[in-house]
Amino acid sequence: MTAEEVDRALPLLTALADLYLDTDPMLAVPGIARVIVDGGYTLDAVEAMLRRDVRPAFYANLLLVAGEWAGWSPEFVRERVLATSERRVGRFLAGGDRFFPRAAWAAIVAEVARLRGER
C-alpha cells in the first residue's frame, strides 16, 4: 500500500489489527464490522487488506509469550503497515490461511451482512 492508501484506510487497518492482539479475536468482530459498513468497503477489499497488509504486519504478535493485548495506536498501525509493505512478504503469508483468523473473519462477514440488512 502507498502512504496515501494507508491514510485513507487507517480506521479499517487499525480495527483489523485488533485481530492480532493477544486476546480473543471475536471481541473485535462488532467494531470491525461497523468500520466496514460505515466506510462502504467491500468484503473482498477488506479480506485482501487483511491478508496482504495487516496479517504480515501483525501476525508476529501471536507468536510472543506475552504479546500486545491493549491495542495499537493508529500511528503505530500506519508505520507498521508501511514498513511491512516495503519488505518482501514471506511466501507462507502471501497465500493460504496461516495466521489468518478464519473464525473471526466468518463472524465479521456475518455481522456485516446483518448490519447492511438493517439499513
CA–CA distance from 55 to each of 9, 19, 65 (Å)? 15, 9, 18
- 32-48 pLDDT, tens digit each: 999 999 999 999 999 99
- The three cell numbers of residue 27 are 471481541
DSSP state of 69: -
1 pLDDT higher than 70: yes
- 70-119 pLDDT, tens digit each: 789 999 999 999 998 866 555 445 556 788 999 999 999 999 999 999 76
Q: How far apart are CA 117 and CA 37, in angstroms?
A: 11
Q: Which residue has the higher pLDDT, 94 or 64?
A: 64
| Global pTM exceeds 0.85 | yes
pLDDT at 66: 72
- The three cell numbers of residue 51 are 491478508
pLDDT at 92: 46
